[in-house]
Structure 1
Amino acid sequence: MKSSGIGGQAVLEGVMMKNKDKYAVAVRRPDHKIEVKIEEYHSVGEKHPIARFPIIRGVIAFIESMVIGTKTLTYSASFYEEEEEEKESKLEKTMGKLFKEKAEAVVMALTIIASIAIAIGIFMILPLFAAEFFSGLTDNIKILALVEGLIRITLFIAYVLMISQMQDIKRVFMYHGAEHKTINCVENGKELTIENVRECSRQHKRCGTSFMFLVMFISVVFFIFLRFDNLWMRMVSRILLVPVIAGVSYEFIRLAGNSDSFLVNFFSKPGLWLQNLTTREPDDAMIEVAIQSVEAVFDWRAYQEGERQRSGKMKLLSKNPIEEASVTKSNDEEDTLDGLFLNQETKETLQKSKQTKSKVVDLKSAREARRARELETSSLERDLQRDSLLDGEEDDEILRALDKFFIYEENKRE
């Protein structure tokens, strides 16, 4: 099926699912009940057309996903804070005095900026300086850029391995698996039940893990072809090109979600493999949370019905009514037209009739058709057969075409 467009994220003891301008967070509370919160988020792309351009939309989508992700993580964590209210820190008091009701939004913005800065420092700048240790072995910029890229990918995988050993993160990764399995269940046309979700894969092409791996991989390609002899210029280029690399990676993820081509599947393999580290098999309680999150913002039944109808129409459109003149009488019958010898003029006449739909010709079996050809077809019989083929519809061009056909049949018998 075509990509549903729904995406999500694992949070603390829960799952967030986003569909267009709505997202829902479903959290398993300490009392084991499921709390579902629905919010609206209007993308910048809805207000500014330029934000929908390729590459640019990827950068905006990445930033917006971080905003929603940070907000939903904070919400899910609020259910597991200690009952005793902690004293406010000096920083929180200062922020409250300076920004008042906007203090929370400012703190969130600063958190996102700090997270991006740390990620750039660890995965972009650190590999650059680490690669300089090999400059004594070679002065080839492309080789050094390749070494830098290998260090960057190694650091990323090592980071994922390290955090996957933390107990709290393991549970988040289980919810991550529930998120993927639920979306796969919907997009595979299955009813959204715990049993069906359990059988689905926990890997998905549009995963954030695949996106991050692509950022690392595409950066290698970018920096191999960028030549800067000065170390500091190379560092500035790493920082400035992060949005471009993120935008290109987003476009590939977007393509991968709607394509099954060999090349797309081939380049998606490393990211899917890495998801084995960032996802775990969820239990049924986690799957239940993910299902409620989906159903809060997405009508999966309507989506599946629409995809089935679209698939049926595509199959009908793929058939050529002229080449496939032999039509079955019913699903249970295998009788076909033994021969329909239309000349080129008749074929062209049939094709010009845009308003006439393809007709289902009710024919006898091959044995009965052979016997019928031995009989003289009277004018009345020909008219009756012609009316049967037309099913009551009147079209002068079709009438003339069928007259030519019956005349041809009579001449052949003579």
Structure 2
Amino acid sequence: MKPSGVGGQAVIEGVMMKNKEQYAVAVRKPNNEIVVEKKTFISAAEKYKLFKLPIFRGMLAFAESMIIGTRTLTFSASFFEEEEEVKPSKMDQAFSRIFKEKAESVIMGITFFIAIVLAVGIFIVLPAFAANLLGDMIESETIIAIVEGIIRILIFIAYIAAISQMKDIKRMFMYHGAEHKTINCLEQGFELTIENVRWQSKQHKRCGTSFMFIVMFVSIIFFIFIRVDQEWLRYLIRILLIPIIAGVSYEFIRFAGKSDSKIVNVLSKPGMWLQGLTTREPDDDMIEVAIQSVEAVFDWRKFLGIDSVSEDKDETHNKKNSGKNHNQNNKTPNNKQNKNLSNNKQNKTVNSNINKKQTEQSNNQNNSQNGGKLDKIEQIEVKSNKDNKKNINTSNSSKKKAISSDDALKQSVEETAVSMQKTSKVPVHPAFEEEEDEILRALDRYLVSKEEEK
């Protein structure tokens, strides 16, 4: 559990929360609207350093809490006054004439004084008077002090049980539970939502109810050791010791709120049990009011470290995104270059394949053409051989025919070569041209040799 330093109290249809010098009261109006008033209260400890010391700070805190509580109760009650205008009483008119603008503050001070007098009379004087009545029956002063303390506690419990039967007080006790649940939610490390607050405990160690019980318990210890024979002096001492007892009780409550030791928990149990009378389970609307009151004076997100975590996440997310964008930007030109290189390679490959195919086609065509030429030449040679055989076996008359046939053969070969050159659409490779020339030269030699034989 991490102490938040936030405290508060229930008011009429609302909750007051205080953090350091800031306090806010949130009230749900009859039209269901939530009104939040935030104010600053400068403690007297800022001016008088004495009240920053232990015990003295508790005395001051007790007095200031009563002042702030009275103000916030008056503020919350102002929203539920009757709509009909009430004529001011003669006393109100008299205070207005005398104190003018400060009349309301004076009336509040008087009311506060009367409340303190009644509290002292009921919870201090009355138990002491009842214990003195038993003085004739009980001789031990220690037992009388203990009996006085027990009577005081019983009167306090009876008072709480009696007022808790009132409808308005019941609802105020429900808002008291909402106040405790909201603070417990913070100090347990949960986000301040209605769902999280709902299942928190409605008891808290720093509650005013526990403080009152500790005051009554500490008073027993004080009165055991402080003994006076005069009855009037005994009452006076009890009244004068109230601030000191409150200061000591405050220090215990302050320490208990920060400690989880078993001894402190055991000593805090009676006050926690007594809170069962002053707190009730709130509804969601009451929890909502308590949350708004806390948010007006306390940054619970910063307290839980939610802002820093979210900022770290945002920074990490931004870094990751920037890194991804940087990598993508770096990869994009490389991808384009790789694509261009691959396209160039593909184009080169395609062009080389096309050239190869064209070369193969031209070679095939040349081979087919040259093959045709060779076939024709072979046919011519075969014919010439046949003619030569005929010329050898025949007479002179056949020689004349052979000469004419040779001329015709030469002419036909020349015509065939010319026609082949004309009909060739594909350019002939130089190697095939040389081969063709060799064939023609061989044919010329053959014809020359034939002429010489003749």
- The TM-score bracket by the shorter chain reads 0.7 to 0.9
Distance 1:116 1:53 in 2: 25
Q: Deviations over 1:277-317 (max 9, x none)?
A: 100000000000000000011000111129999xxxxxxxx
- Is residue 189 of structure 1 aligned with residue 189 of structure 2? yes
Distance 2:236 2:147 in 1: 18
Q: Deviations over 1:19-47 (max 9, x none)?
A: 11111111100100111111111000111
Matched with 1:269 is 269
Matched with 2:84 is 84
Matched with 1:290 is 290
Distance 2:140 2:257 in 1: 38
Distance 1:221 1:96 in 2: 46
Distance 1:225 1:121 in 2: 22
Contact 1:145 1:220 in 2 (8 A): yes
Q: Who wins on radius of gyration, i.e. which is larger?
A: 2
Matched with 2:105 is 105
When structure 1 is superposed on structure 2, of 105-114 and 254-263 the one drifting more is 105-114
Structure 1 residues 144 and 308, CA gap change in structure 2 (3 angstroms): farther
Gaps of 5+ in 1: 310-414
Alignment of 1:235-314 (within 5 A): 235-305=235-305
Q: Deviations over 1:335-393 (max 9, x none)?
A: xxxxxxxxxxxxxxxxxxxxxxxxxxxxxxxxxxxxxxxxxxxxxxxxxxxxxxxxxxx
Q: Deviations over 1:129-167 (max 9, x none)?
A: 111221121222211111111111110111111111111
Whichever residue aligns with residue 89 of structure 2, its letter is S
Whichever residue aligns with residue 45 of structure 1, its letter is A
Whichever residue aligns with residue 86 of structure 1, its letter is V
Structure 1 residues 135 and 308, CA gap change in structure 2 (3 angstroms): farther
Matched with 1:368 is none
Matched with 1:53 is 53
For the residue of structure 1 that corresponds to 2:195, the secondary structure is helix
Q: Deviations over 1:223-282 (max 9, x none)?
A: 011111221121111111011001101111110111111111111000000101100000
- Is residue 32 of structure 1 aligned with residue 10 of structure 2? no
Backbone CA RMSD of aligned residues = 1.5
Alignment of 1:63-212 (within 5 A): 63-212=63-212
When structure 1 is superposed on structure 2, of 191-200 and 88-97 the one drifting more is 88-97
Distance 2:140 2:28 in 1: 54
Give, in angstroms, the shift of residue 117 of structure 1: 1.3
Q: Provide runs of 4+ in structure 1 moved above 4 Å.
A: 306-309
For the residue of structure 1 that corresponds to 2:121, the secondary structure is helix
Matched with 2:215 is 215
Contact 2:2 2:189 in 1 (8 A): no
Whichever residue aligns with residue 109 of structure 2, its letter is A
Task: Give TM-score, length-normalised by structure 2.
Answer: 0.67
Alignment coverage as a number of residue pairs = 309
More helix by percentage = 2
Task: Give TM-score, length-normalised by structure 1.
Answer: 0.73
Distance 1:94 1:205 in 2: 45
Q: Deviations over 1:182-229 (max 9, x none)?
A: 000011000100000001000000000000111111101110111112
Contact 1:2 1:307 in 2 (8 A): no
For the residue of structure 2 that corresponds to 1:257, the secondary structure is helix
Whichever residue aligns with residue 213 of structure 1, its letter is F
Matched with 2:372 is none
Matched with 1:9 is 9
Whichever residue aligns with residue 197 of structure 1, its letter is V
Matched with 1:227 is 227
For the residue of structure 1 that corresponds to 2:16, the secondary structure is strand
Alignment of 1:328-367 (within 5 A): none
